[in-house]
Chains A and B, each alone.
Chain A
Amino acid sequence: MNKKIKASAAIVAALALSLGAFAATSASAATKTYTLAYQGPLSGGEASTGTDEQNGVKYAIKVWEAANPGIKINLVSVDDEGDPAVASKVAPGVGANKKIIGLVGPAYSGATIASLPYYKAGNLTVISPSATRVSLTDPKSPTVKSDYGRPIFHRVVATDDKQGPALAKFATKGIASAKVFVFDDQSSYAVPLRGYVEAAIKKISTASLVGTGDSVINTTTDYSPTIAKIKTSGANVVIYTGYYSAAAIFIKQLRDSGSTAVFAGGDGVFNQEFAKLAGKSGEGALLTGVAGLADVDATIEADFKAKIGVSSGVYAVESIDAANIFLSGIKNGKTTRAAMNKWVKAYNFKGIAGATIKFNQHGDISEGGFAGFLVTGGKLVNKGPVA
Chain B
Amino acid sequence: MFDVFIDQFWQLTFSGISLGFIYVLIALGYTMVYGVLRMINFANSEIFMWGTFGAIVASRDLFKYTQTSDPVTGPKLVLVLVVQLFAAMAFAGLVAVLVEFVAYRRLRARGTNRLATLISAIGMSIVLSEVMRLLTASRPVGSPRILEKIILTEIWGAQIRLDTLITILAAGAIFIILERFVKLSRMGKAIRAVSMNEDAAKLMGINLNRVITVTFLVGGLATGAAAFFYVTVYEYTKFNIGFTMGLAAFTAAVLGGIGNIRGAFFGGIALGLAEVYAASILGTQWKSVTIFIILVLVLLFKPSGLFGEAVTQTRA
Q: A45-B240, A186-B285, A276-B67 are in contact. Are A222 and B138 (CB under 8 A)?
A: no
Cβ–Cβ < 8 Å partners of B61 in chain A? none
**Assembly CA distance A104 to B251 (angstroms):** 42
Nearest CB in chain A to that of B276: its residue = A225
Q: A45-B238, A280-B68 are in contact. Are A214 and B284 (CB under 8 A)?
A: yes
Contact B11 A228 (CB under 8 A): yes
Interface assignment of A143: CB less than 8 Å from any CB of chain B: no
Contact B284 A215 (CB under 8 A): yes
Contact B7 A45 (CB under 8 A): no
Contact B7 A232 (CB under 8 A): yes
Contact A232 B3 (CB under 8 A): yes
Interface assignment of B215: CB less than 8 Å from any CB of chain A: no
**Assembly CA distance A248 to B142 (angstroms):** 9
Contact A215 B285 (CB under 8 A): yes
Interface assignment of A177: CB less than 8 Å from any CB of chain B: no
Nearest CB in chain B to that of A280: its residue = B68
Write the B1-42 contact mask toward A (1 if CB under 8 angstroms, else 0): 001100110011001100100000000000000000000000
Interface assignment of B101: CB less than 8 Å from any CB of chain A: no
Contact A248 B236 (CB under 8 A): yes
Interface assignment of A277: CB less than 8 Å from any CB of chain B: yes
Cβ–Cβ < 8 Å partners of B244 in chain A? 219-221
Q: A219-B244, A257-B159, A280-B68 are in contact. Are A225 and B140 (CB under 8 A)?
A: no
**Assembly CA distance A211 to B111 (angstroms):** 58
Cβ–Cβ < 8 Å partners of B138 in chain A? 43-48, 51
Q: A249-B234, A277-B67 are in contact. Are A217 and B137 (CB under 8 A)?
A: no
Cβ–Cβ < 8 Å partners of B104 in chain A? none
Contact A378 B68 (CB under 8 A): yes
Contact A256 B149 (CB under 8 A): yes
Write the B55-81 contact mask toward A (1 if CB under 8 angstroms, else 0): 000000000000110000000000000
Contact B284 A228 (CB under 8 A): no
Cβ–Cβ < 8 Å partners of B230 in chain A? 221
Cβ 8 A contact of B280, one of A217, A229, A279: A229
Nearest CB in chain B to that of A43: its residue = B138
Residues from 272 to 301 in A contacting B, C-beta threshold 8 Å:
273, 276-280
Please give 14 more A-B residue pairs, beta carbons under 8 A apart, in addition to A225-B4, A276-B67. Answer: A45-B240, A47-B139, A48-B139, A219-B241, A219-B244, A220-B244, A220-B284, A224-B16, A229-B280, A252-B234, A273-B139, A277-B67, A277-B142, A279-B68
Contact B284 A224 (CB under 8 A): no
Cβ–Cβ < 8 Å partners of A228 in chain B? 4, 7-8, 11-12, 15, 276, 280
**Assembly CA distance A273 to B138 (angstroms):** 12
Nearest CB in chain A to that of B141: its residue = A277
Interface assignment of A74: CB less than 8 Å from any CB of chain B: no
Interface assignment of B183: CB less than 8 Å from any CB of chain A: no
Interface centre among B12, B138, B238, B240 (most CB of A within 10 A): B138
Shortest distance in angstroms between B161's beta carbon and chain A's nearest beta carbon?
7
Residues from 129 to 145 in B contacting A, C-beta threshold 8 Å:
133, 137-140, 142, 145
Cβ 8 A contact of B8, one of A221, A231, A245, A278: A231
Residues of B within 8 A of A (CB): 3-4, 7-8, 11-12, 15-16, 19, 67-68, 133, 137-140, 142, 145, 149, 151, 159, 161, 230, 234-236, 238, 240-241, 243-245, 275-276, 279-280, 283-285, 287-288
Interface assignment of A212: CB less than 8 Å from any CB of chain B: yes
Cβ 8 A contact of B19, one of A222, A273, A378: A222
A-side interface residues, number (CB < 8 Å) = 39
**Chain A contact surface mostly:** helix
Nearest CB in chain A to that of B148: its residue = A256
Contact B12 A225 (CB under 8 A): yes
Cβ–Cβ < 8 Å partners of A225 in chain B? 4, 12, 15, 275-276, 279-280, 284, 287
Cβ–Cβ < 8 Å partners of B7 in chain A? 228, 231-232
Shortest distance in angstroms between B285's beta carbon and chain A's nearest beta carbon?
4
Cβ–Cβ < 8 Å partners of B133 in chain A? 43-44
**Assembly CA distance A226 to B287 (angstroms):** 12
Nearest CB in chain B to that of A226: its residue = B284
- 4 A-B pairs with the lowest CB-CB distances in the bound complex, closest first: A225-B279, A47-B138, A224-B15, A228-B8
Shortest distance in angstroms between A223's beta carbon and chain B's nearest beta carbon?
8
Contact A232 B285 (CB under 8 A): no
**Assembly CA distance A231 to B230 (angstroms):** 24
Shortest distance in angstroms between A222's beta carbon and chain B's nearest beta carbon?
5
Cβ–Cβ < 8 Å partners of B241 in chain A? 219, 221
Interface assignment of A258: CB less than 8 Å from any CB of chain B: yes
Write 12 A-B pairs (CB below 8 A) sorted by A numbering: A43-B133, A46-B138, A47-B137, A51-B138, A215-B285, A219-B240, A220-B244, A221-B244, A224-B12, A224-B19, A231-B11, A245-B236
**Assembly CA distance A198 to B294 (angstroms):** 33
Interface assignment of A216: CB less than 8 Å from any CB of chain B: yes
Shortest distance in angstroms between A97's beta carbon and chain B's nearest beta carbon?
26
